[in-house]
Structure 1
Amino acid sequence: MNILVTGATGFIGSFIVEEAIKRGMNVWAAVRPTSSRKYISDPRINTIELDLGDKQRLKGQLGGHTFDYVVHAAGATKCLHKADFYRVNTNGTRHLADALVELRMPLRRFVFLSSLSVMGPVREQRPYADISVNDEPRPDTAYGMSKLKAERYLDSLDGLPVVTLRPTGVYGPREHDYFMMAQSIKKHTDFAAGLKPQDLTFVYVADVVQAVFLALERGRNGAKYFLSDGCVYASRTFSDLIIGQLGHPWVVRLKAPLWLLRAITFCGEYAGRLTGRPTALNNDKYRIMRQRNWRCDIAPTRAELGYEPQYRLERGVAETIRWYKDNGWI
């Protein structure tokens, strides 16, 4: 089977490529000329340069190829301007889908990696309840809205067998945002956002990959599936596990009220625009940290895909920190 993976040089995409190789698939990794290929260096991997910003050029790049499966994992999580989220996440998805349809690609499945962020702050009244696939999405971030618009465009197309995955916070080896937390803790500082209780969910990258291949095999066309490890955690559980894996260093815990967090992210966004470099401390990040309820219902994912998370947070954090140490990140 021929499989095309976009975002193949990124965090999640590179693990999808590795799993496809293990399964004996003929893998095509979509890359950009400037992409680092550190994690897709296996000689069995075919690479293809794709310009998701130009549909006509994209059709030329895809022409002559036949793919059975496409996993669209490419996307932007941090941008300097809101318009960039829509350019990459919404329009890039639209161009890829249109090109595949117009080329009459004989796809068995198109799996789209979306995000729980498309739902936004729903079910925020305590006691918190699981966000359901039947809830009306209300994204309050540019990232979440750009992913939701991409989902809705895919839903509008005839002839494209789309299955959408909506993972919660994805962590694991090679990931940079949660790494910043580990790096901060190693320097003896732990930062928490907001004073009200927060219910958090996580999913280890290997379980996301598991869900991708289950979706390729068993996914129902048009369906949307939430992904988590099936548990709900308090706001400090992740950092407590990191502290344990780092040998229990002394740590100063800083708990910032939302008004202070808003000021910090406002300055971070402004600094990013001055330097021309996107930063993790931005307006979207503030809205994400402000949201109190990140619970999600994965019962349909289990029932329809046969998905069963293999990594609870304790195991996943242990493997992640071990990888950071082994690879000289911390």
Structure 2
Amino acid sequence: MLESALPVPPCERTLMIALSLTPELREMFLPSPIWDDLVRLGPIVPMEEAEVLVTGWETPRLDAEALERAPRLRLVAHTGAAVGFLVSDALWDRGIRVTQTGAAMAPAVGEMALTFTLSLLHQVHRFDHRLRSGGGWEETRAAARPARELRGSVVGVVGASRTGRAYLELVRPLGAELLLTDPLVDAAEAAALGATLVPLDELLSRSDVVALHAPAIPATRHLLGRRELALLRDGAALVNTARSWLVDSDALLDELRAGRIDAALDVFDEEPLPLDSPLRALPNVLLTPHQAAATVEGHERQGRSTVAEIARFLSGEPLRHEITRERLRWTA
């Protein structure tokens, strides 16, 4: 559920709140009136005095040494989704709770994955690359594969995560045949999402488009390696708005250089993407700079979600988006 306002009325008690956000992130996630809602919950204080710490992508890891500076800390409210880089056993051992805003980011990522899907099917990336490179009209048309419609195409979704479900919700009404692979989902749940549950190998070999929405956990490291990428049919398209962790980048580059498949990528092993990356020159690749979740509306949802979770913590209500040590094993 996405919050649009505080879930509880203001309490007499307040919390000491510290921010570990760059000025840019603070303005992005906590503009007025979201900022006004936050400071109603408690004063902004140094980390040494904080009971709650609001964190961002550039926050240093909260290891034992860092936590020594925050003896009163009880809650970490992260404005992003992935918290693996941030948390440590020392944090869990002290009983500090962690919440994040992945649910708030899912709608934007789902839309971007759909945008990628349609662009690849309709060959927008190849047309754009050839025209910008000085190609003639008929030459540009000839350089692309035959365009395909989403209706009737087979779309395979790897991971029924929050973003995977948001993507499924958008693609389903457009008439695609949906396949899903996820070890935590059974056939009945997949059917409720409008998809057929199949093994990964079958999904890869049958799909016209494969969209990655799995978490970056040890079990998913290079989930798509050289063998798996070879299962993709000629002319298939790969959409990755999740993590580059999921794909063997060297094997993917070889497939793309061969021109056998197309890809749309928002995530990379090295970010920013180096200027000399061979991906930049390939006509069958659509690139964006890790911006799938970066919408105005998404940032507002992230800020409101963060403040709403702090309000729940203050009032003693259950947190809606808590990440525990055990759950971290299964989430991005």
Per the normalisation by structure 1, the TM-score is 0.36
Instruction: Work out which of the two has the higher radius of gyration on C-alpha atoms and give 1 or 2.
Output: 2
Q: Does 1 or 2 have the higher relative contact order (CA < 8 Å, sep 6+)?
A: 2
